[in-house]
Amino acid sequence: MVAVLVRTALRGLQSSAVTSVAAAGTIAIALVLVGAFALIAGNMQGLLQRFGEELQVVAYLESDIDAAAAQQMVERVATVEGVQEVEWVSPERALERLRESLGGGGLLEGLEENPLPASLEITLAPSHRTPEGIAILVEAVDGLPGVDELAHGQDWVEGYSRVLVLVRSAAVGLGGVLALAALLIVANTIRLAVYAREDELAILSLVGASRTFVRVPFLLEGTLQGAVGGLVALGLLYAAFIMLVPEVQYGLELFLGSQQPRFFAVGEAAWLVAAGAGLGMCGSGAAMLGWRA
Amino acid sequence: MVAVLVRTALRGLQSSAVTSVAAAGTIAIALVLVGAFALIAGNMQGLLQRFGEELQVVAYLESDIDAAAAQQMVERVATVEGVQEVEWVSPERALERLRESLGGGGLLEGLEENPLPASLEITLAPSHRTPEGIAILVEAVDGLPGVDELAHGQDWVEGYSRVLVLVRSAAVGLGGVLALAALLIVANTIRLAVYAREDELAILSLVGASRTFVRVPFLLEGTLQGAVGGLVALGLLYAAFIMLVPEVQYGLELFLGSQQPRFFAVGEAAWLVAAGAGLGMCGSGAAMLGWRA
Amino acid sequence: MRGSGRRATHAGGESPIRLYHVSKSYLAGSFALHDVSLEIRKGEFVFLTGPSGAGKTTLLKLLFAAERPSEGQILVRGRNVGRLRESAVPALRRRIGVVFQDFKLLPRRTVEENVRVALDVTGTPPREARAKVFQMLKQVGLQHRRFHHPLSLSGGEQQRVALARALVNEPEILLADEPTGNLDPELTLEIMDLVVGASTRGTTVIVATHDMGLVERYGKRTIRLEGGRMGEDLQ
Amino acid sequence: MRGSGRRATHAGGESPIRLYHVSKSYLAGSFALHDVSLEIRKGEFVFLTGPSGAGKTTLLKLLFAAERPSEGQILVRGRNVGRLRESAVPALRRRIGVVFQDFKLLPRRTVEENVRVALDVTGTPPREARAKVFQMLKQVGLQHRRFHHPLSLSGGEQQRVALARALVNEPEILLADEPTGNLDPELTLEIMDLVVGASTRGTTVIVATHDMGLVERYGKRTIRLEGGRMGEDLQ
Ligand SMILES: Nc1ncnc2c1ncn2[C@@H]1O[C@H](COP(=O)(O)OP(=O)(O)OP(=O)(O)O)[C@@H](O)[C@H]1O
Ligand SMILES: Nc1ncnc2c1ncn2[C@@H]1O[C@H](COP(=O)(O)OP(=O)(O)OP(=O)(O)O)[C@@H](O)[C@H]1O
Ligand SMILES: [Mg+2]
Ligand SMILES: [Mg+2]
């Protein structure tokens, strides 16, 4: 019986080539959109991470703290919740940086002695780059002996964490809209395909085919069309990836730094194909719901 | 005859409600995607513009230039190709800014006299924010009497203009992919719709209907379905815009500043509906090409 | 002789088809079938005649649950088909072979597949199915066309495919709606012999037809419908 | 009497249908029609008979350019339809009414619209079209069903709609493929009278049929095909 159902499904695919190709094609296109989005979003993730790295809390130290004492403080601060990295910046290094940032001109030549204090540059773990994370850190560090003043760019964090939320929700939202659109389009297409074959289904039912006998081959067809659509989408995405990445490589480096843009891993690629198969099956299932013998 | 064709088209829509709704629905979904993208890209445009404003070439002046002489230089530089705005920054203002940027601490208290020179901050017009635009400006300004040194963040410009190109090409590319996907999906859907009604078209042809008689109503149907799809897409986008903008307003302000996110103007909205109608018509036309009496 | 009343009271377990005061109305106010009662015994061969629109096809449709009666009871193989659960319908239909007036062949399947579908739905093993289909197609004279599609067959050829599909799984009941309307006189006799043969092997047969020559030639029981009502019921 | 040769040489401007050594082969190596020559005069009424698969439908299809001949020449209204440009086909078909063996009604249009489509394609003004359609439906006894859909009609009713569509624009040529196969004897005569009536008003009529009773009753010219070849041509 299973053999008959599978054979019926294969014959169905063959005998209605137009609708099968159309359905698989539509699924492929929908998945290309979703997949391209996933690729872009995935690679952007790294970019956001790097932006976040620039968030630092700087603890300016009192002038009588020497390197050894500073080293102790570094170790102490490193234990605070959410702290990822702590770096000690000596007054000399600080002046050097200021010079660099002012463009290397002779602007600070007139200074008789180094007015800049030593500092600790504290980097938060990504999960703590929020106003709350900063508050915890500030509370822990502010009272420490030897700490003169804390600079923590509260505004910056506010902005960063909000942008992060915004971008993430935009990504989730856009991804959701795309997935929903893909679902609707595929359901629509398969509904049309069922519609085009309504007579066939009606005849099968008239000669005594059970619901299972009518539906299972149809679901199998849909699933297969979807899987093929998924494979095609994967192929198209890979081809586009291979062709486009060298084109934009140079520009991408500005964003991603040394991080190479990456394609789907095998597991992710399998998910894409599975998503296609699932779409095809659900689309067929939904279309069959609308159909009554 | 025209009346008959129009009536036939309307009857066709009515008599094949399933395919009509499916086609219009698919067009609507496709246009929602394209439209949402256009909205986001359009509003992002303003953001990029604002980033660009930060690109300035700074000409540090010799210390013996007084305010009146500086004013003359401002006027002179303003005539250079690609210059949008020139601002004179006095040494006092420059020191004030440096203090602000260092966090307002007492870091520069120890300075006996102001070591900073006066400068001209030159903003380029958007079209000249490229390495070439900067080169022109540098050449024109570098030799001027009274100019001591030029700081022009060549790297920054390189980066900015590349990012700009990257983002723009991503937008054009993604938009193109979306539009192409919409086209393919709509063509596919309408092809299926034709397929579902093939018998009908064949019968019309057998009773002596000319190509025009068979095709024109079909094209009209497709056009109407497309226009309806466009209207539905417009409605959906507007609803989403109205609902989502207050949600993300706060986050958006960080990006867009005081700039309000805007929806399509009437003309642009009309374009969307026209695009739907065009898609429907072309889709039908393409589907009819594949069909032979 | 109006025999309906008499027959309907003639209850018996071996009557696979029994109708009691059956009416069918598609559109409010008009009846396609009106108060029809009759009983057909196992292995009986019955002609159903009557003018166009008399309700012949409607009567057949009621028997294989393609339509439900508006009034009355229909027992097919002892089961009330008017009240059959949706899920029990396929099993009923697998016992009934139907030759549809408009053939209802699957246009995108070959002749062989069209016939075979009646065996596939019963889960017949492939090897057996193939053999039976070939045998059946030979009997209707179409074995050489078995890999062609119905649309490339002549009207009469399509009609024979439809008959082959109805007979291939040796149904208990055969309902044939105008099964020779597109056949020439000689072929009509050949095909009718097949149908009569099935009835002698125990299949209960109802043939709806306008061909009075056929009715006279075979001299079988003939039920006449007129405007949805039982007319004559001649043995 | 084999009259094909004689008739074909019988050239005359008033013969709207002339075939010269026409063959049609759908599948390489077999002929659905083989070396058929014949001539039919204006207003003539001709029965086309022959066993199932003899080529009757094929012959009719060639006449309205639904198929092209593999060999030979076909002149319809003086034009070689085998060589007709694609764009000239609709104009030809508007002069020819066809009753298809499988009716070919538009399932999603009403009966009225199905008949009317034959007038719409000729650009008949709406008012006139409506009146003609109503008149025509009355003649085939279906005016009360005009707002229904074909699928809710009985087989015979559908067949009459198909005939109404073929006749409504008073075609020069009427090709009817088994037009009474689903009609009872009385209705058959009524419908045949309509067809004969059209031929007395000048329409050239070919009726393909298996109903020998009909052929005998009307005693018209009868062309018999057998295995694609001309058999008898009886006046
Ligand atoms: N689905 C339907 N909806 C509405 N009316 C219907 C439907 N099916 C049949 N009818 C009507 O019921 C009546 C009986 O139809 P039926 O098909 O049973 O006739 P029949 O005896 O088979 O006629 P024929 O010999 O022409 O095939 C006809 O008037 C027909 O128009
Ligand atoms: N499209 C086609 N492709 C292949 N073979 C065809 C096609 N159409 C018809 N034939 C074959 O050509 C032969 C003649 O067919 P045709 O339909 O002309 O017969 P007919 O005389 O009308 O028969 P009937 O009385 O059964 O309708 C048949 O054997 C048929 O199978
Ligand atoms: Mg009937
Ligand atoms: Mg035929």
HEC string of chain C equals CCCHHHHHHCCCCCCCEEEEEEEECCCCCCCCEEEEEEEECCCCEEEEECCCCCCHHHHHHHHCCCCCCCEEEEEECCEEHHHCCHHHHHHHHHCEEEECCCCCCCCCCCHHHHHHHHHHCCCCCHHHHHHHHHHHHHHCCCHHHCCCCHHHCCHHHHHHHHHHHHHCCCCCEEEEECCCCCCCHHHHHHHHHHHHHHHHCCCEEEEECCCHHHHHHHCCEEEEEECCEEEEEEC
Residue D30, SS3? coil
Confidence (pLDDT) at D8: 39
Pairwise CB contact (< 8 Å): C113 & A11: yes
What's the gap in Å between the CA of A43 and the closest CA on chain B? 14
Between A157 and A191, whose confidence is greater? A191
Task: Report pLDDT for B224.
Answer: 93
| Chain D residues whose beta carbon lies within 8 Å of the beta carbon of residue C212 | 185
pLDDT tens digits for B159-196? 556 656 666 666 677 777 777 887 788 888 888 878 87
What pLDDT score does D10 carry?
Answer: 40
**Chain B residues with CB-CB distance to D122 below 8 A:** 208
pLDDT recorded at residue B288: 79
- For residue B239, give the H/E element and its range: helix B211-256
Mean pLDDT, rounded, of chain A? 79
Asked if D105 and B1 come within 8 Å (Cβ–Cβ), the reply is no
**Closest-CA distance of chain A to residue B1, Å:** 30
What is the position in ligand 1's atom list of the atom closest to the CA of C67?
Answer: 1
Work out the average pLDDT over B281-286: 86
Pick from B22, B109, B248: CB nearest A188: B22
Contact C94 A203 (CB under 8 A): no
Q: How far is the CA of D171 from the centre of ligand 3 (A)?
A: 29
Q: Give pLDDT, residue B158.
A: 61
- What residues of chain B lie within 8 A of the CB of A174, using their CB? 36
Query: Which residue in chain B has the smallest CA separation from A248?
Result: B166
Task: Name the stretches of chain D with pLDDT < 70.
Answer: 1-13
* Contact: A203, C122; criterion CB under 8 Å: no
How many angstroms separate the CA of residue B158 from the nearest CA in chain A?
Answer: 10
Q: Note the residue count of chain B.
A: 293
Sheet of B56-61: strands edge to edge?
Answer: B83-89, B119-124, B56-61, B147-151
Tokens representing A30 are 């929908």
| Ligand whose nearest atom lies closest to the CA of C154 | 2
Distance CA A105, CA B130 (A): 24
Q: What is the mean pLDDT of residues B197-220?
A: 89
Judge whether A220 and A277 are in contact, CB under 8 Å: no
Give whichever of A230-234, A289-293, B51-55, B74-78 has the largest mean pLDDT. A230-234
A206: nearest CB among C91, C104, C122: C104
Give the confidence band of B147 by pLDDT, cuts at 50, 70, 90.
confident
Output the pLDDT for position A51.
59
Query: What ligand 2 atom has the least distance to the C-alpha of D24?
Result: 12
Q: pLDDT (tens digit, 9 = 90+) per residue, A30-88? A: 888 888 878 877 776 666 666 566 667 888 888 888 888 888 888 888 888 888 888 88
Q: Each residue of A136-180: pLDDT tens digit?
A: 888 888 878 888 888 766 555 565 566 566 666 666 777 777 778
> Which residue among D57, D63, D70 has the greatest number of ligand 2 atoms within 8 angstroms of its CB, and so is best to mutate?
D57
Note the pLDDT tens digit of each residue in B85-119: 888 888 888 888 777 766 555 556 666 677 778 88
Mean pLDDT, chain C cut into blocks of 10 residues (235 residues total): 40 79 94 96 96 96 96 95 93 96 93 95 92 96 95 94 96 96 91 94 96 92 95 83
Specify the 3-state DSSP secondary structure of A125. coil
Query: Between C and D, how many CB-CB pairs are < 8 A?
Result: 81
Partners of residue C54 in chain D, C-beta under 8 Å: 184
Confidence of residue B292 (pLDDT cuts 50, 70, 90): low
Q: What is the pLDDT of residue A126?
A: 77
Does residue A177 contact residue A30 with C-beta atoms inside 8 Å? no
Task: Report the chain A residue with the minimal C-alpha distance to residue B162.
Answer: A251
Report the gap between the CA of B131 and the closest CA in chain A (Å). 15
What residue segments make up the domains of chain D, in order of their start? Answer: 105-170
What is the average pLDDT across B116-140? Answer: 82
The answer, yes or no, to whether residue A114 has pLDDT greater than 80, is no
Residues 6+ apart with CB under 8 A from D200: D43
Asked if residues D224 and D235 have their Cβ atoms less than 8 Å apart, the reply is no
Would you call D90 and B210 a contact, using CB atoms and an 8 Å cutoff?
Answer: yes
Cα dihedral B8, B13, B15, B19 sign: positive
What local confidence, expressed as pLDDT, does residue A110 receive?
A: 61
Q: Which residue has the higher pLDDT, B215 or A99?
A: B215
Query: Confidence class of residue A104 from pLDDT cuts 50, 70 and 90?
Result: low
* Six token digits for residue A273: 């194909």
Q: Which pair of structure tokens corresponds to residue B272?
A: 């969307």
Quickly tell me which residue has 């007709």 as its tokens.
D84
Chain B positions touching A166 (Cβ under 8 A) are 248, 251-252, 254-255
Taking a 5 Å cut-off on Cβ, the residues next to ion ligand 3 are: C 57, 101; D 154-155
- How much is the pLDDT for A190? 80
pLDDT number for residue B112: 65
Point out the ligand 1 atom lying closest to the alpha carbon of residue D151. Answer: 1
Contacts with B172 (C-beta within 8 Å, 6 or more apart), sequence order: none
- Residues present in chain D in total: 235
User: Which of D2 and B292 is assigned the larger pLDDT?
Assistant: B292
Q: Is the CB of D154 under 6 A from ligand 1?
A: yes
Q: Which pLDDT value is given to residue A96?
A: 82
- Residue range B45-67: average pLDDT? 73
**Ligand 2 atom at shortest distance from the alpha carbon of D51:** 25
Q: Which domains does chain A have, with CATH numbers?
A: 2-51+159-288 (no CATH), 56-128 (3.30.70.3040)
